[in-house]
Amino acid sequence: MNKLKKVAKIIFKIVIVIFALIGITSTVLISNLIKTPKELLTAISTYQLIVSRFYMNVNNNDLIEGISKGMASSLNDPYSIYYTKEEMIEFNTQLNGIYAGIGMVLGLDKDTNLIKGIRIFKGSPAEKAGLLPGDIIIEIDGKSAEGMDTETVAVNVKGLEGTKVKLVIFRGNEYLDFEITREVIQVPSVTSKFINEETLYIEITSFNENTTKEFRNMLSGLEKEPQNIILDLRNNGGGLLDQAIELARYFTPGGVVLYETGRNQKDLLPFVVDSSLFLNKPLVVLVNENSASASEVLAGAIQDYKSGTLIGDNTFGKAVVQSIYSLPTGGALKLTTERYLTPNKRDLSKEGLTPDVKILMTEEDYMKIDYTALPDIKNDLQLIEAINYFNK
């Protein structure tokens, strides 16, 4: 009887995790799942065999988390990931406190599906330690970075000011070890500067909850009205979609900014803005392979409405949105739930945006740019092309 109770308890735990992960809320879905008991029994049998036959003691929570991580990874979607309870606690704690980092912008390396540094801020701990753009993160404090997304890597790299983080980096054909002391990194998401008498350069590094406010403050603080605008979205990995949509009011003549669609591709949900804030100025948008997600939404809308010219390299191609679902275990599942289409209903999820004027830059070219003196009109080849574009 005790053995039966134990098996029943195990079955209950596994079924609860499976139900939670796939978000079963309707009796129809539940009944469909019950009709396929072999799949459930396979997972349950595997669990029971490991618990009862493995030659060492087994942590039940580790097995449950393994099931959760396995289901998420089986989707072959680099953006869908299971977070453990500890990872969620650490993530939420850092949101509420004053934490520090190393001054490195992160992005996904398409060749390895690992996270790499795409930009190193001048004077930052990362630069002082010798990190370079393109460095692939292999380990963080002895923990493998395989399977981590940018947010998870960021959570693990960040910490209290003055503490150290150990990184194993892959560069070229060798592995390198770094120990870096964290510092408070303060980088506004919007910066601007007049390049000449007529042209205003605006860089948006990410879309966070303050981006639109920073943008409005920047515009209201200008001493003169620009005749031309260069909007730099390079190395902008995205962020909050609502902020990108709000900024589209300044750079498009009004209308649909994007469509959102899920499994049923016939159902398109339009996101619409009005034309009340449209700047209607000659506009160049700089993009590259690290321009992703929300930045692609904004750049794609500008390109479709022909309200600006895109210069640079093909964008990343992350036109999907993730939702985070809390689970009974204390962990959470970040799951890709929707896909974006541009106003002209282009799907950017594979190829990304192709710029109107293609100017390729190597990692060596990017390393020549002086990020402490942005905009660098001497060494930034794509920016130089943007400036010359207004003179054609």
Active site residue 293: yes
Amino acid at 168: V
Strand, coil or helix: what is 89? helix
Contacting residues for 207 by C-beta, under 8 A, at least 6 apart: 189, 236, 238, 239, 240, 241, 243, 244, 247, 294, 295
Residue 156 structure tokens: 């693990």
Q: Report helix, strand and coil shares of the chain as percent, to nearest 5.
A: 35, 25, 40
Contacting residues for 103 by C-beta, under 8 A, at least 6 apart: 120, 121, 123, 124, 125, 126, 127, 183, 185
Residues 72 and 81: their CA atoms lie apart, in Å, by 6
**Catalytic, out of 293, 295, 307, 334:** 293
Active site residue 318: yes
In terms of phi and psi (left: phi > 0; alpha: psi -120 to 50; beta: otherwise), the region of 109 is beta
**Catalytic, out of 232, 304, 313, 380:** 304
**H helices present in the chain, as ranges:** 2-21, 27-34, 37-53, 60-73, 85-96, 125-129, 150-157, 211-220, 241-251, 294-305, 363-367, 381-389
Residue 230 structure tokens: 């260069």
Amino acid at 351: E
Handedness of CA 58, 60, 62, 63 (dihedral sign): positive
The Cα-based distances of 198 to 34, 67, 201, 381 in angstroms read 67, 58, 10, 20
Residues 97 and 109: their CA atoms lie apart, in Å, by 30
Q: β-pairing, 190-194 with 199-204?
A: antiparallel
146, 114 contact by CB (below 8 A): yes
The Cα-based distances of 227 to 10, 195, 238, 247, 283 in angstroms read 68, 12, 27, 19, 9
**Catalytic, out of 68, 318, 334, 380:** 318
DSSP 8-state code for residue 161 = T
Residues 204 and 219: their CA atoms lie apart, in Å, by 13
Residues known to be catalytic: 293, 304, 318
